[in-house]
Amino acid sequence: MELEVDENDLKAAGAELFAEGGRRGIRINGWLIETRRHSILNSSTFQEWEQKLDTSHLPEMVFGENTLILKHLSSGTNIHFNAFDALRGWKQEALPPVEVPAAAKWKFRSKPSQQVILDYDYTFTTPYCGSGTIEIDKDLYEFLMRSYIMNEGETSKETSDIHWEDCKDQIDVVALASKEPILFYDEVVLYEDELADNGVSLLTIKVRVMPSSWFLLLRFWLRVDGVLIRLRETRMHCVFGGSTNPIILRESCWRESTFQALSAVAVRGVLMVEVGSLEFALVIVEDMVVWWIWVMVWCLKVWGWWPFDALMMEFGGRWWWFWEMKVEGEVEEGWVERVGGTRLLMKKGTLLILVRMVIRVSSARSSPS
């Protein structure tokens, strides 16, 4: 479902949307932000990629023409994301293969000659954080080429790689959470594999553009059923400004855990909830029993009788009272007042216990975990 954008918001931000074929994007504050989405690789292109990457294994679905491009026109800064560079990172990292639970059974039951040995990372985990270049002005490029011819130096190129520097600045999450209109949003899938029905491996890129900035999230998500969960994320944020060279903040986060470790945490959490609920229920029951025993003792001391009639009226409605009136024909003087007073005490006590329960629940929820 495509995002519906208010034309007034676009005019106020000086932005322009465009869409043609498989391309769609936005022009805003000197930036050209564009996404391209097409079908998966055909067989011939698939084989070409295998040759270029020197591998015979690629994900089931590779969207080779899908890409996200963010280009700053005045500085020539060009950031883009594509499946080929991501798979090249996977090939270079070359992580050891993750063994699924069924593999151990296969090894035990099959003969050594029948065993399938994995010699590559079939999860297609990649350290890819994006691709970036800076285009050099043509006049400057010609000047550098003349200097090279005269001085016989190294060959110059029309583009150079983006240089990322470490800094203490962080992405302003509060600003991103503000209610600012979204002028453009899109999500692009780079590749996906279901790991032979043993999980999922997925690399996606999301981008959204606001009047004040753009933000993107590159996410690699891996789930190997019963074994491993892995998440690698790269976020970029750029605030629009008047400077010639834009400042782009990039943050990367890698996390992973085994199913066994996550199950242990989940079991501890469930046990804590169950034990806490049991203790809470026992406390409430104890409060009610103590309160009702105190009411009975008080009735015995003040009025000299056990309030069984009041108890029967609480739990059995008014049937006990009508039966008492019809069978006995008359009641002891003050009986109605005593029963009414006892029932009022019981109701007040029960109400106080319920209030105490609400206070305990509120304090438990507000206390830090």
- Per-residue pLDDT band for 207 (boundaries 50, 70, 90) equals very high
Query: Which pLDDT score, from 0 to 100, does residue 74 have?
Result: 87
Q: Which residue has the tokens 């229920």?
A: 281
Query: Quick one: average pLDDT of 341-347?
Result: 58
Lowest-confidence pick of 16-20, 109-113, 159-163: 109-113
Model confidence pLDDT, tens digit, residues 347-356: 666 666 666 6
Torsions phi, psi for 214 (to 5 deg): -125, 155
Evaluate if residue 189 carries a pLDDT over 70: yes
Query: Which pLDDT score, from 0 to 100, does residue 62 have?
Result: 97
Query: Quick one: average pLDDT of 252-266?
Result: 83
Model confidence pLDDT, tens digit, residues 132-148: 888 765 554 454 344 44
Task: Please name the helix (run of DSSP H) or strand (run of DSSP E) that holds residue 137, with its range, or none.
Answer: none
Evaluate if residue 320 carries a pLDDT over 50: no
- Per-residue pLDDT band for 153 (boundaries 50, 70, 90) equals very low
Query: Which pLDDT score, from 0 to 100, does residue 21 have?
Result: 82
Query: Which pLDDT score, from 0 to 100, does residue 197 have?
Result: 87
Query: Quick one: average pLDDT of 298-304?
Result: 59
Identity of residue 201: S
What is the edge-to-edge ordering of all strands in the sheet holding 159-161? 16-20, 23-28, 31-36, 67-72, 77-82, 131-135, 159-161
Query: Which pLDDT score, from 0 to 100, does residue 147 have?
Result: 44
Query: Which pLDDT score, from 0 to 100, does residue 369 have?
Result: 43
Task: Please name the helix (run of DSSP H) or strand (run of DSSP E) that holds residue 18, with its range, or none.
Answer: strand 16-20
- Per-residue pLDDT band for 112 (boundaries 50, 70, 90) equals low
Query: Quick one: average pLDDT of 164-170?
Result: 89
Pick the more confident residue, 181 or 341: 181
Query: Which pLDDT score, from 0 to 100, does residue 203 have?
Result: 97
DSSP tag of 113:
G
Query: Which pLDDT score, from 0 to 100, does residue 6 have?
Result: 86
Of the chain, the percentage scoring pLDDT greater than 90 comes to: 42
Average pLDDT over the chain, rounded to whole? 76
Q: How far is CA 328 from the centre of its chain?
A: 71
| Structural tokens at position 67 | 């890409």
> Is 159 within 8 Å of 135 (Cβ atoms)?
yes
Model confidence pLDDT, tens digit, residues 237-256: 999 986 678 899 999 999 99
Evaluate if residue 268 carries a pLDDT over 60: no
- Distance (Å) of CA 281 to CA 286, 352, 366: 9, 16, 19
- Per-residue pLDDT band for 264 (boundaries 50, 70, 90) equals confident
Evaluate if residue 67 carries a pLDDT over 70: yes
Query: Quick one: average pLDDT of 173-191?
Result: 92
| Long-range Cβ contacts of 21-28 (<8 Å, 24+ apart) | 22/65, 24/186, 25/69, 25/184, 26/183, 26/184, 26/209, 28/183, 28/209, 28/211, 28/240
- Distance (Å) of CA 108 to CA 115, 127, 225, 266, 289: 10, 34, 20, 31, 61
The residue ranges of every structural domain in the chain are: 7-246, 265-366
